[in-house]
Amino acid sequence: MEMSPPKTIKDIQRLVGGVVVFKELKLYLTSPPLLKSPYVGETLYLYLATSEETIVTVLVKLEGVHQFLVYYVSKVLQNNELRYSKIEKCIYALIVAAHKLQPHFQAHPIVVVTNQPMNEVLPKVDAS
């Protein structure tokens, strides 16, 4: 492909802009993916977060000191769900995540991370 040399300032600006876009695209394509697949049996961490109208769960894996996203689930609360207390919303988020992420829950140990005292509300699995 042959190109004629730029003749005007606009041609130079267009060329420089194209080079910048090409470099950004090259950087994006060579960077690691956003989602990572976990290995079977690898411990995963499930972060639970709630707001007035939404619940969010994020499943991550650790590699050294870095965390990588495995899966993300969010749900907008409706009707009676909006009246749940913070702890009820957190438990509901855990139920939604367990339902959507069932294959991950079966293949991996999961550590639940939240700022709510869920261990005081939920019965111990070992005790039952």
Residue 97: CATH number of its domain: 3.10.20.370
> Is the CB of residue 44 less than 8 Å from the CB of residue 70?
yes
**How many structural domains is the chain composed of?**
1
The reply to whether 54 falls in a domain is yes
- Closest listed residue to residue 85, CA positions, set 47, 58, 124, 50: 50
The reply to whether 91 falls in a domain is yes
CA angle, residues 51, 53, 55, in degrees to nearest 5: 60
Burial bucket for residue 96 (CB in 10 Å: 0-12, 13-18, 19+): middle
pTM beyond 0.75: the answer is: no
Strand order in 110-113's β-sheet? 66-76, 54-63, 44-50, 110-113
Boundaries of domain holding 108:
44-116
The reply to whether 112 falls in a domain is yes
Per-residue confidence (pLDDT) for residue 128, from 0 to 100: 42
pLDDT one-digit tens code per residue, 77-127: 998 888 988 888 988 998 999 899 888 888 888 888 887 777 676 766 554
The reply to whether 97 falls in a domain is yes
The reply to whether 58 falls in a domain is yes
Average pLDDT over residues 27-55: 82
